[in-house]
Structure 1
């Protein structure tokens, strides 16, 4: 199973970042506009449209406010397994460290997913941060 880790510095308050991450129905407005172009809720799932026209059904697995951690799974014929978690932690007094982990099968799609995650990271940093910084791999 492929496991992709992104350790993302964001120049913003962790509570502000968490508020955007936990808003499961609005990633196209609050988290990664431009990368995510549309989203709508259907029960515990969201239907997300990405910049390249791809549409995914993402099922919310857990949203833990105490740990500032969101977990979701992708339900698709293209992937056998796709589970993701995003955790928001303080990084100093006014910065945030966001850890985004995706575990997926088949392994062959990992390079594509990692590339898309890199694009999403840039959109998140631009949207959430006061100044963008490059993500560092874990």
Structure 2
């Protein structure tokens, strides 16, 4: 019994080290909006992988290759000139859904933190994947934009504020909300 107690106590003492050793946690943001239009009308407005600049106010231009085929790529130019490179991973026209990932984000700043230099990307995330889904909800249409990602700083120590979880979540949430609100205004 004494050996069991010692083992249990040792395990509990080591638990914080194991928890903090893995680095950043995976984050998630999901935003939805209801639009007074048919699902087909809303889907037609957003389904083309090369059309984000047409309905999202933060996107200056979209340069894409590959249409809506798996593996298609696009470079988004944000207002201010920063870029985001993305790849279409799944596209289902019948189900009105697609999934894409960010491959590269341009650096917009560099900061010093605890004696180290860190690049600050235009969008403070890493390992980002996103799903866009359009579906009927009564006589309206629900658009869901879901992202799973990590913060920009993927180290195991205290992270700079501009690269932490809260900053990443806020950036994606605000980006999604402004895009969905603009989509609603333009479709209705």
TM-score range for the pair, normalised by the shorter chain length: 0.7 to 0.9
Task: Determine helix, strand or coil for the equivalent of 1:80.
Answer: strand
> Are 1:36 and 2:82 an aligned pair?
no
1:112 aligns with 2:112: no
Match status 1:65 vs 2:124:
no
What are structure 1's unaligned runs of at least 5 residues? 131-138
- Higher alpha-carbon deviation: 114-123 or 12-21: 114-123
Cross-structure match for 2:5: none
- Alpha-carbon distance in structure 2 between the residues aligned to 1:92 and 1:102: 25
Instruction: State the TM-score, normalizing by the size of structure 2.
Output: 0.61
Q: What is the aligned counterpart of 2:77 among 49, 69, 73?
A: 49
Unmatched 5+ stretches in structure 2: 1-25, 67-71, 106-120, 152-163
More helix by share: 2
Q: Distance in 2 between matches of 1:86 and 1:4?
A: 12
Tell me: CA distance 1:91–1:75, structure 2 relative to 1, closer, same or farther (3 Å). Answer: same
Distance 1:120 1:53, change over 3 A: farther
- Structure 1 stretches (4+) deviating beyond 3 angstroms? none
1:123 aligns with 2:182: yes
**1:78-131 Cα shifts (integer Å, max 9, x gaps):** 4431000011001223x2101110001126212222122222122211122x2x
Shift of 1:72: 0.6
Residues paired across the two proteins, number: 126
8 Å contact from structure 2 (residues 29, 169) kept in 1: yes
CA distance in structure 2 between the partners assigned to 1:28 and 1:7 by the alignment: 19
Question: 3-state DSSP class of the match of 1:76?
Answer: strand
Aligned pairs (5 A) from 1:83-94: 83-93=129-139
- Structure showing greater relative contact order (alpha-carbon pairs closer than 8 Å, 6 or more residues apart): 1
TM-score normalized with structure 1 length: 0.82
